[in-house]
Amino acid sequence: MSVLQEININVKNMRETEMTALERQANLIKEMLRQGVKKPYKYVINVSWGDPHSTGVKPLTFVRQVLAACFYPQLMDGNKLPVDVKQRARELLHWCEGGCVGSYTHTPGLTEVIHSIAHFITQRDGGVPADPENIWIHSGSQWSLTNMLRVLVNSDGSPRSGVLMPVPCYSTSHVSVEALGGVVVPYFLDEEHGWELQIEELHRALESAEGVCKPVALYIINPGNPTGHIQSRKSMEEVLRFVWEKKLFLLADEVYQGCVYGEKTPFVSYKKVLSNMGPPLSDMLELASFHSASKGFLGECGLRGGYVELVNIEPDVLKHIYMLFHMDACPPVAGQIALELMVDPPKPGEPSYTLYTNEIRHIQSTLLHNVKKVEKVLNRLPGFSCQPVEGGAFAFPRLHLPPKAIQKAKEVGMKPDTFYCVRLLEDEGVFVSPGCEYGQKEGTYHIRFCIMTTVDTMKELLRRLSSFHLQFMKDFS
């Protein structure tokens, strides 16, 4: 018998996600197209991930120039790179051991980058100080979240630890809790009110956990993934009071803080709101905030760089957290450089400032265009409804599927929105993800797709989706 037959029961119980089968099908279709098989389309549009560069959005010139110079310093010998790019690259290399990006760094990350992140957070929050000692760089925000869950979730306890998590929610967050032996306690966001977080729903979720698990933390995503909702300051204050009263730890996923489209609700960090609420909450409520270079306008998903800031953690507890974090090797240096450039971009008067600013404005205007176009097109299609997208990288419209389509999905052993996504992929070459991947209220169906694309990509995506949807609804009417 293989040793792996005795695999951890929590890992063994992990389910294959709906996306796995769709990914296999998408790869098969791509290979068929490469081999010359005739399809109604020439290429697959993959908007299932929040990866702007894969959908045609160009990387920021300044970021790529600095990265290139760091990885191949000989580029700085000529006159092809702006002076400030060379200066930043030399500075970054000076921070690295041996002046080389191939060297290890300290386990928390480069000290200078951590100080830059602390300065960025302090400025973002209007002067609320950030302590560099409480900031830790990991290879992406999901890695940071998983490490914090390792601290919080006690699978050996009786009852087991529970984490309140939103529905809908990015699926890997749920999987992370379950793989550690914890219990996911779902709370549902209110779709009819723009995916708002209702405080009454948090109380209901907490009551549902009685006798099942011991809730230890509340996980919040703001701006929402996949919903695109941004919390109001009032809502955040209610959440913080709830966390304080129920003695929970707050996990604040704020990776899309730079992507805000709605005019009514700006992004405000949980740490900022907590500080403004004053003692005792501001001095004692424990939270962890996550951010990443993969998200927002940098979009450097493949470089793997994210950080967690810990707030109000007692020194004795912090010591054990750091011991756990130290078990990991240092985060990728490329990701650390991306974080540095995200939190400290070119300044007015520097050679790269104008181009950098213009590129950011172009991405912003493109995304605003896409948001308006998506809402306009989908809300005009029969059987679709899309709540306003205020921030983040995704649209999460609702599908009102005909009974015949739901029955057909059951006959072929698929969930209804997965069935829809499979047909969309096969018929029109559009790869979106089904709402069941993220959780949804019983009897509702959704799809999620990335809106961080070029205007041309979005135009073609909506053309294909509209054509498919009208035919699908006709076929199953």
Residue 77, in any domain of the structure: no
- Whether 411 has a pLDDT exceeding 60, the answer reads yes
For residue 368, what is the domain's CATH number? 3.90.1150.10
Please indicate, yes or no, whether residues 331 and 390 belong to a single structural domain of this protein: no
Contact 375, 389 (CB under 8 A): yes
Residue with the two structure tokens 């949804």: 440
* Closest to 180 measured CA to CA, from 151, 205, 159: 151
Q: What's the whole-model pTM score?
A: 0.93
In a domain, 83, yes or no: no
pLDDT tens readout for residues 186-207? 999 999 999 999 999 999 999 9
- Residue 225, domain CATH: 3.40.640.10
Sign of CA dihedral 274, 204, 249, 219: negative
Q: Which two tokens stand for residue 75?
A: 């580029």
Domain identity same for 289 and 160: yes
Question: Quick one: 186 and 276 in the same domain?
Answer: yes
Supply the range of the domain harboring residue 197. Answer: 104-343
Over residues 74-126, the pLDDT tens digits come to 999 989 999 999 999 999 999 999 999 999 999 999 999 999 999 999 999 99
Domain finish residue from 280, 309, 343: 343
Count of C-beta atoms within a 10 Å radius of residue 30: 15
- pLDDT score recorded for residue 4: 47
Is the domain of 404 the same as that of 369?
yes
Structure tokens at 427: 């018929």
Same domain for 439 and 305: no
When divided into structural domains, the chain yields a total of: 2
> Which secondary-structure segment (H or E) carries 342?
helix 333-343
Mean pLDDT within 50-54: 90
What was the pLDDT predicted at 325?
86
Q: Is the pLDDT of residue 466 over 50?
A: yes
86 assigned to some structural domain: no
pLDDT tens-digit series, residues 154-167: 878 789 999 999 99
Query: Which amino acid belongs to residue 106?
Result: H
Q: Does 306 lie in the same domain as 279?
A: yes
Residue 447, domain member (yes or no): yes
Q: In the chain, what percentage of residues exceed pLDDT 70?
A: 96
In contact, 309 and 92? CB cutoff 8 Å: no
Tell which residue, 243, 257, 245, has the closest CA to residue 309.
257
376 found inside a domain: yes
DSSP E strands, 297-426: 306-311, 384-385, 394-395, 398-399
Mean predicted lDDT score pLDDT of the chain = 93
Q: Is residue 90 part of a domain?
A: no
**More confident: 45 or 8:** 45
Pair (117, 183) in one structural domain: yes
Residue that has been written with the tokens 């098989």 in this structure:
37
Confidence grade of residue 66 (pLDDT, cut at 50, 70, 90)? very high
Among candidate residues 445, 452, 438, the one with its CA nearest the CA of residue 226: 438
Tell me, yes or no, whether 323 and 203 share the same domain. yes
**Which tokens hold the place of 146?**
């998983």
Q: Is the pLDDT of residue 441 over 70?
A: yes
pLDDT at 78: 87
Residue 177 forms part of a structural domain: yes
Domain boundary, last residue among 343, 368, 388: 343
Whether residue 30 is found in the same domain as residue 168: no
29-52 mean pLDDT:
94
Tell whether the model's pLDDT for residue 14 goes beyond 60. no
Residue 124 burial (CB count, 10 A): 20
Long-range contacts, 367-375 (Cβ 8 Å, 24+): 367/259, 367/261, 367/451, 367/452, 368/261, 369/455, 369/458, 370/451, 370/452, 370/453, 370/455, 370/458, 371/261, 371/395, 371/451, 373/458, 373/459, 373/462, 374/451, 374/458, 374/462
Count CA atoms closer than 13 A to 46's CA, side-chain side. Answer: 16
Dist CA 325 CA 107 (whole Å): 8
Residues 184 and 280 in one domain: yes
For residue 58, the model assigns a pLDDT of 95
Please provide residue 77's backbone torsions phi and psi, each rounded to the nearest 5 degrees: -75, -30
The answer to whether residue 222 sits within a structural domain is: yes
Instruction: Specify the pLDDT at position 282.
Output: 96
pLDDT digits (tens, 9 = 90+) for 197-243: 999 999 999 999 999 999 999 999 999 999 999 999 999 999 999 99
Residues 291 and 210 in one domain: yes
369 and 336: one domain? no
